[in-house]
Structure 1
Amino acid sequence: MQKVRGVVARAKGEPVSVETVLVPDPGPGEAVVQVQTCGVCHTDLHYREGGINDDFPFLLGHEAAGVVESVGEGVTNVAPGDFVILNWRAVCGDCRACRRGEPWYCFSTFNAEQRMTLEDGTELTPALGIGAFAEKTLVHSGQCTKVDPSASPAAVGLLGCGVMAGIGAAINTGAVGRGKSVAVIGCGGVGAAAVAGSALAGASRIIAVDLDDRKLEWARGLGATHTVNSKERDAVEAIQELTDGFGADVVIDAVGRPETWKQAFYARDLAGTVVLVGVPTPDMRIPDLPLIDVFGRGGALKSSWYGDCLPDRDFPMLVDLYQQGRLDLDAFVSERIGLDDVEAAFERMHHGDVLRSVVEL
């Protein structure tokens, strides 16, 4: 058992606090990871606001990189000293998705069985089964993906959630490829990553849509060929105009609201693909759409879970591309902060001032 500092959300809507967290020694299949960096993701704010569930208190943080400190019985995929990115999809290998060869849809992912606690014994719920706004965290060994140790932890740790979600929404879910046209609605961290993924895949035209000119400029730096400020222009009309009147082959909704999903639906070409990667709230409903439009336009309407990624396959590949200078993960790191600065980082994120704040430990 070890005592570390960690960021805890005790109740819905209340400011987070830095508290002493007890981390058990790893049991069978588990690993203790010394956290080096952890990005401040909007999902952590969702946890604090009670938007995920009400299993308070939460140990926040999940977009992390670090070094394996110790492992439990039976662990063979990582060893002490390995540099790893943490993931929230430790595939089981035995559920119906895994058995049919689609482990990126695994319906029975692993987390550590032991719980980290506060000093008074109160059990903590780790965000996405990770809880990495802490000096050390306990995870299932399958949540550790070994990557090149020479890579910058602040940059590659972001693959643990938002950046992977965006890149994967384009490449894995949307099947963006050479010569395709893509529109991305919402250019925060996930949307900007979808832009970068589309550029990486060789898309010929990448249209970034947002209400904020700062985000549009970030998107242009990551590969957008055109930008649309939807406060000034109708997004659907602009996307159609920029694609010879047809609409984009793939439209990615990185916002996750009924209004933006409807825009994505009508902004795609016939037989085009809509990808929903922005996370809606439980009360949201699909907008009123004539069923004949769903039938008549053909194509595919998809949801993207974690960019439909397979961490052991995708993380090392993307880190290699980063090391080669072909994927600018550093561009996502807006600021480097400490554990005590997480609450302020939530505020900056809420106002759209950053792509990612990254906690360094």
Structure 2
Amino acid sequence: MTHEVRGVVAKAKGAPVSVETVLVPDPGPGEALVKVQACGVCHTDLHYREGGINDEFPFLLGHEAAGVVEAVGDGVTEVEPGDYVILNWRAVCGQCRACLRGRPWYCFNTHNAKQKMTLADGTELSPALGIGAFAEKTLVAAGQCTKVDPEASPAAAGLLGCGVMAGLGAAINTGGVTRGDSVAVIGCGGVGNAAIAGARLAGAAKIIAVDIDDRKLDWAKGFGATHTINSSGTDPVEAIRELTGGNGADVVIDAVGRPETYEQAFYARDLAGTVVLVGVPTPEMRLELPLLDVFGRGGSLKSSWYGDCLPSRDFPMLIDLYRQGRLDLDAFVSETIALDEVEAAFTKMHHGDVLRSVVVFP
């Protein structure tokens, strides 16, 4: 059986997205059909539209999603129809060298659904991050579904599927923030503010937010920043050092992903401190640092892929914290919108007007 649904499609590089009829097949072996309840508008979706990921147009956009499993294919044991799930884009294989060494968050063989969703004329769609959740239903690998507490709001829970998990994980998993640490976060959009929330959860004593937009710095205070720096008129390296006894922060998280912000993060950390890059750079960007400084400052320079998360471990835990009132996922939801408002949401995101617009399905 084929399911006819509405979905947001990017047909050509830079062209406005459109709502199209999408044909979704029943799940085959190892696959799950999910009725999407909510999906966040992430900057990665805009990257797809702009051709910044690859040129495999047309794309079925959307990936930060929560919904209910409607059907599963043969061999699926992880979930069953009726399960409330968050979708993830790193369904681990369990067999690659990373998985076998006990580091499944680095899985080298993550997988997606094998069958293709199509437009009404049969044109195959490339689902964003193997998910394609700006649609009433989507087809994914069963391992991309993580069962969580069904009492959690879909609009909030779905954000763990990408940006919020990336930021939280950058602080907790990659950065190893712990009690009493000083932490600086450069860039206070959705990912950066999630890193701030993660640092607070981990018990950081001092959390310094850095941005060029006072509005975003105000948001950062709400997520747990103890100090803010507007770097449009202040040297952030010197300001972070001044706030940390002249030493620099124990962990500095670059949630922007540009050479200049990475250099700031590098010099704003304490000796033997940690830099975490979670902002995604573009292919043409290059970084130049004196190798002697890299050697002499010691510590760790890390990249955070999806917050180095393991969805089966992290999603239920974070949803429990949300349900306990210890993690305010609702605060990341700036607005809820309809499916045909995604293009307008991209504009708001580009202007920095929102943390997250979230498509909510009736």
Q: Answer whether TM exceeds 0.5 for this pair.
A: yes
Partner SS, residue 345 of structure 1: helix
Within a 5 Å distance, the mapping from 1:1-361 to structure 2 comes to 1-286=2-287, 288-361=288-361
Residue-by-residue CA offset, 1:14-37 (whole Å, 9 max, x unaligned):
000000000000000000000000
Residue-by-residue CA offset, 1:290-332 (whole Å, 9 max, x unaligned):
1110000000000000000000000000000000000000000
Separation in 1 of the partners of 2:243 and 2:58? 48
Shift of 1:93: 0.1
Separation in 2 of the partners of 1:61 and 1:349? 15
Q: Which residue type is aligned with residue 359 of structure 1?
A: V
Q: Which structure 2 residue ranges, 5 or more long, are not aligned?
A: none
Shift of 1:269: 0.2
Residue-by-residue CA offset, 1:233-257 (whole Å, 9 max, x unaligned):
1110110000010000000000000
Shift of 1:57: 0.2
TM superposition score normalised by structure 2: 0.99
| Structure 1: 4+ residue segments shifted above 2 A | none
Partner SS, residue 342 of structure 1: helix
Aligned CA RMSD, in angstroms, stands at 0.4
Sequence identity percentage: 82
TM superposition score normalised by structure 1: 0.99
Q: Which residue type is aligned with residue 153 of structure 2?
A: S
Separation in 1 of the partners of 2:344 and 2:235? 34
Partner SS, residue 4 of structure 1: strand
Q: Which residue type is aligned with residue 330 of structure 1?
A: D
Separation in 2 of the partners of 1:317 and 1:214? 30
Separation in 2 of the partners of 1:130 and 1:188? 23
Q: Which residue type is aligned with residue 192 of structure 1?
A: N
Separation in 1 of the partners of 2:252 and 2:151? 35
Separation in 2 of the partners of 1:158 and 1:289? 35
Residue-by-residue CA offset, 1:316-360 (whole Å, 9 max, x unaligned):
000000000000000000000000000000000000000000000
Shift of 1:110: 1.2
Partner SS, residue 146 of structure 2: strand
Shift of 1:160: 0.2
Separation in 2 of the partners of 1:4 and 1:347? 25
Separation in 2 of the partners of 1:14 and 1:208? 35
Q: Which structure 1 residue ranges, 5 or more long, are not aligned?
A: none
Q: Which residue type is aligned with residue 333 of structure 1?
A: V
